[in-house]
Structure 1
Amino acid sequence: MLPDKDFLIKLANTKMPYGKFKDRYLIDLPEHYIVWYHRKGFPKGKLGDMLTTVYELKVNGLEYLVRNIQKISE
């Protein structure tokens, strides 16, 4: 089940707050990085929820949903 609309809008506009990929939109994080987090354990809280969703979107080839929201938000 996909998250609600407001969550996806926030996800589309959220950037990674730290690390090697700081300031990159979460949906634009490399797949290998998201898979690494999946194996290691996602952080707690909203960021972890968003990264978990990004993982599910990427695994299922649904990144375009978030990219479409980004285009609409421009």
Structure 2
Amino acid sequence: MEDLTLDPQLLKDLVTVTMPFGKYQGRLLADLPEPYVVWFAQQGFPEGKLGKQLALLHIVKENGLEPLLDPLRR
């Protein structure tokens, strides 16, 4: 995975962008269940921006940092 230098927009995307496909299509990325995000981490994240967003979400969820997203939801 390429460098995930923290881009504030990537964090904002987690609470504004919806999953474009699959079982959780239409759900905000930040609201995806952790097992689903872990599955992506094991299988490989998609290419491009969505892959970066999901990789960042994996880091957030893996480290229990979801409360950091709360102010961005407002």
* TM-score, reference length from structure 2: 0.86
How many residues get paired? 71
Q: d(CA) in 2 for partners of 1:49 and 1:65?
A: 18
Matched, 1:47 2:55: no
Q: Deviations over 1:33-55 (max 9, x none)?
A: 00111000000000000000000
Moved over 3 A (4+): none
Matched, 1:23 2:26: yes
Q: CA deviation at 1:11?
A: 2.5
Between 9-18 and 51-60, report the one with greater CA deviation. Answer: 9-18
Matched, 1:62 2:65: yes
Q: d(CA) in 2 for partners of 1:2 and 1:69?
A: 19
* TM-score, reference length from structure 1: 0.86
Of residues 3, 10, 14 in structure 1, which corresponds to 2:6?
3
Question: Root-mean-square deviation (CA), in Å?
Answer: 1.5
Letter in 1 for 2:52: D
